[in-house]
């Protein structure tokens, strides 16, 4: 069935946008299902009017229609509006319906197309675990991910070359209407046509490699530069490393969630590191130098004479760096003092003598 949208709306091909809207408003009121309950012909007419306006009411689609005509071979009523069902609205008054209608069919210029058309590929999320010590200098990690990449056989166009034809799935409108039941009745929602990605046009000779999608799935390696100072749970966003978009649209982004593996020796507090060291009681009394593990390697710490249990000593600059800053955190060492539970004969003798003099 060849559909002449202009004659459906009873207007000339040269009609202005305002004329089209006016004609549509009059006709849709005239043929509204509320006024023709149970009349199948009126319902079909109403659908037809809406379909015509759907195309002619949108400048871009109207232009496509003028150039290419209606969808080839979609026939009877148009697939774009298959399953159109107004029964749910029959209890509502016309005014209310009109508002809903505006919402679904975009009374404004190209409202739906703008929001529903997918403009880029999907984002991808991956997780990478790094060692605690790798936080100090940052690191590079290479991972293999399976993503969509632009099809090299058609340079992402999805076409073997030549012209495009109107999409048969959506009748060239780039939109399909889905019907769902809700508390308020039947709701029609306009969805982007998946077959043409909302373009309304498909290649006449589709690329066979990518089945006209313009992209193919491929396993590829990505090297991720993880900055020094990164914290557990932080996410890096790598622009353009997600899935390639369909039909040559830009790629999505790659989101890398960083997991920093714990290290039993260290507890991280932002850029500072906390740790606990046990020393013999005599070292706490007399003072000593001990070798302390830090993320910078083992470092000698001077424990002053008379150090108290749970006393905290600071090692300046032995913590972790701040992301994109030269400031380095500190390491705080809590001193644990070992009191011997058993003494040798000689130790006991010395302690007894000490007791006599304190
Ligand atoms: Zn389509
Ligand atoms: Zn291709």
pLDDT at 60: 78
Mean pLDDT score of the chain: 83
Q: What is the pLDDT at residue 68?
A: 62
In the chain, the percentage of residues whose pLDDT exceeds 70 is 85
pLDDT score recorded for residue 69:
65
What's the CA-to-centroid distance between 239 and ligand 2, angstroms?
23
How far away, in angstroms, is 174 Cα from ligand 2 center?
21
Q: What pLDDT is attached to residue 179?
A: 81
Give 93 or 67, the one with higher predicted confidence: 67
pLDDT tens digits, residue range 308-340? 999 999 999 999 999 878 789 999 999 999 999
pLDDT digit string (tens) for 127-169?
999 999 999 999 999 999 999 999 999 999 889 888 889 999 8
- Find the 237 Cα to ligand 1 centroid distance in Å: 32
Q: Which domains are present in the chain?
A: 5-109 (1.10.287.110), 124-159+205-260 (2.60.260.20), 267-357 (2.60.260.20)
The residues whose Cβ lies within 5 A of ligand 1, an ion, are 167, 169-170, 193, 195-196
Q: What is the pTM of this model?
A: 0.58
User: 66-79, pLDDT tens digit by residue?
Assistant: 766 654 333 333 33
107, 120, 83: which is closest to 198 by C-alpha? 120
CA of 70 to the centre of ligand 2 (A): 26
């Amino acid at each position: 069935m060849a559909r002449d949208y202009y004659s459906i709306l009873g207007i000339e091909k040269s009609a202005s946008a305002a004329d089209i809207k006016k004609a549509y408003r009059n006709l849709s009121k005239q043929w509204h299902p509320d006024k023709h309950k149970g009349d199948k012909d009126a319902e079909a007419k109403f659908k037809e009017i809406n379909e015509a306006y759907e195309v002619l009411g949108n400048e871009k689609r109207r232009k496509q229609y003028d150039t290419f005509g209606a969808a080839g071979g979609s026939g009877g009523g148009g697939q774009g509006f298959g399953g159109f069902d107004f029964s749910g609205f029959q209890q509502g008054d016309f005014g209310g319906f009109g508002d809903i209608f505006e919402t679904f069919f975009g009374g404004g210029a190209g409202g739906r197309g703008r929001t529903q058309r997918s403009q880029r590929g999907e984002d991808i999320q991956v997780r990478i675990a790094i060692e605690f010590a790798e936080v100090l200098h940052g690191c590079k990690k290479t991972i293999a991910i399976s993503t969509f990449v632009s099809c090299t056989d058609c340079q992402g166009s999805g076409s073997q070359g030549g012209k495009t034809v109107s999409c048969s799935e959506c009748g060239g409108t780039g939109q399909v209407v889905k019907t769902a039941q809700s508390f308020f009745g039947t709701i029609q929602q306009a969805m982007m046509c998946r077959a043409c990605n909302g373009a309304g046009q498909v290649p006449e000779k589709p690329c066979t490699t990518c089945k006209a999608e313009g992209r193919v799935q491929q396993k590829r390696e990505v090297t991720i530069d993880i900055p020094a100072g990164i914290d557990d749970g932080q996410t890096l966003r790598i622009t353009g490393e997600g899935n390639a978009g369909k039909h040559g649209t830009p790629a999505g982004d790659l989101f890398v969630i960083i997991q920093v593996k714990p290290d039993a020796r260290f507890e991280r507090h932002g850029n500072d590191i906390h740790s606990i060291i046990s020393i013999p009681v005599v070292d706490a009394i007399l003072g000593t130098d001990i070798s302390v593990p830090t993320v910078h390697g083992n470092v000698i710490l001077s424990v002053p004479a008379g150090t108290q249990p749970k006393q905290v000593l600071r090692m300046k600059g032995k913590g972790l760096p701040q992301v994109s800053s030269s400031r380095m955190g500190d390491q705080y060492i809590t001193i644990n003092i070992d009191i011997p539970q058993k003494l040798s004969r000689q130790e006991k003798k010395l302690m007894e003598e000490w007791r006599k003099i304190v």
